[in-house]
């Protein structure tokens, strides 16, 4: 999986690439940098102290059934200066055409097209890998994520659950 340079809404240059095997510490650092609200919307908890074991499956991916992409801002020399977001897709089982997806963006990078760029890359990878449907668990109040998902597919099911919603979409071709 190659990396891809993108330009965000504000003109910032960034790169989308697969997470690196040594990315556990950066992923944990990113989670700790999220605001309480962003952590609650993404993880349904304000918890900061995740262990390496709890996030290892997001880093040690196979590129087919599990994949995590990172968006990193580039400096003028085209080197990465800050990882600002991650999005992952985890196939429900090895024969399934459905994968669970999620994305997290550092607060000061939200509303700049970061999540859209990551999800666009994730959707392209999904189609190449035989994934046709995305499932996501989102906080009921997280309408931004709901709208983002619906940009990439047709709603198949929306199931409310205790303060969250399980959404199933069929990806557009």
- What is the pTM (predicted TM-score) of this model? 0.93
Domain 4-94+102-131, CATH: 3.40.630.30
Q: Map out the domains of the chain as residue ranges.
A: 4-94+102-131
**Can you give the pLDDT at residue 124?**
96
**Can you give the pLDDT at residue 109?**
98
Q: pLDDT tens across 104-121, in order?
A: 999 999 999 999 999 999
**Can you give the pLDDT at residue 43?**
92
**Can you give the pLDDT at residue 8?**
97
Q: Which residues of the chain have pLDDT under 70?
A: none
Contact 8, 113 (CB under 8 A): yes
């Amino acid at each position: 999986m190659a990396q891809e340079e993108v330009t965000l809404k504000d003109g910032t240059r960034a790169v989308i690439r697969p997470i690196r095997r040594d990315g556990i510490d950066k992923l944990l650092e990113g989670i700790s940098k999220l605001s309480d609200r962003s952590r609650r919307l993404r993880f349904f908890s304000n918890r900061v102290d995740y262990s390496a074991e709890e996030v290892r499956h997001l880093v040690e991916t196979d590129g087919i059934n599990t994949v995590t992409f990172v968006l990193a801002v580039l400096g003028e020399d085209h080197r990465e200066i800050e990882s600002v977001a991650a999005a992952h897709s985890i196939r429900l089982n090895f024969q399934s055409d459905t994968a669970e997806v999620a994305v997290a963006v550092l607060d000061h990078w939200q509303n700049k097209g970061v999540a859209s760029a990551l999800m666009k890359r994730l959707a392209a990878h999904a189609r190449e890998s035989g994934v046709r449907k995305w499932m996501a668990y989102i906080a009921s109040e997280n309408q931004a994520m709901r709208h983002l998902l619906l940009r990439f597919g047709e709603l198949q099911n929306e199931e409310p659950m205790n303060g969250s919603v399980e959404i199933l979409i069929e990806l557009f071709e």
